[in-house]
Amino acid sequence: MSENAIAMERTRPNIDLTDHAVTLVIVCLVGLVMNTVGPAIPLSDGFVGMVVIYLITMVGLLLTRFAPFYLPSVAWISLVGILATLPWTPGSEWIVEQAKSVNFLALATPALAYAGFAIAKKEIEVARHSGWKLALVACLVFLGTYAGSVLVAELILRLQGA
């Protein structure tokens, strides 16, 4: 094995597939609820689509863990999804049809909420160390962004003659 390959193996994260599988089941259940409540897609349709997405994700995670070379899990999951939906892949039409019954915006909402909570925890620590100066800068940035948006909107409205 070359030195480069050995270095890549050392940087490969050790993925706990059981932990990821359980976490993905929870995420899929939350996504299924959001998919049913938000866009009002029937539960049975959304369930099959969610199972298909779950399986694609798990195959990508398995490849991340056991492939002879390392790629990040998002790359493997994307590749599996792309290959599974290519027109010449057997069963791709069925996979695409099932995935159509999952509203991806409904899936993004819980993920973005979680990301917001994760960022907020880190930001609280930064705010503790920065104090009132950070609050002042944040207020000025918000004010500037708002004023800039108002000016652009006003300019566009005036150019359109409204």
Q: Is 149 exposed, middle or buried (0-12, 13-18, 19+ CB in 10 A)?
A: exposed
Q: Which of 25, 24, 22, 50 is nearest to 35 (CA)?
A: 50
**Rounded to two decimals, what is the model's pTM?**
0.67
Average of pLDDT values for 15-32? 90
| 64: confidence class by pLDDT, cuts 50, 70, 90 | very high
- The sign one gets for the Cα dihedral 91, 96, 97, 102 is positive
For residue 93, the SS3 value is helix
> What band does 128 get if pLDDT is binned at 50, 70 and 90?
confident
Instruction: Specify the pLDDT at position 149.
Output: 93
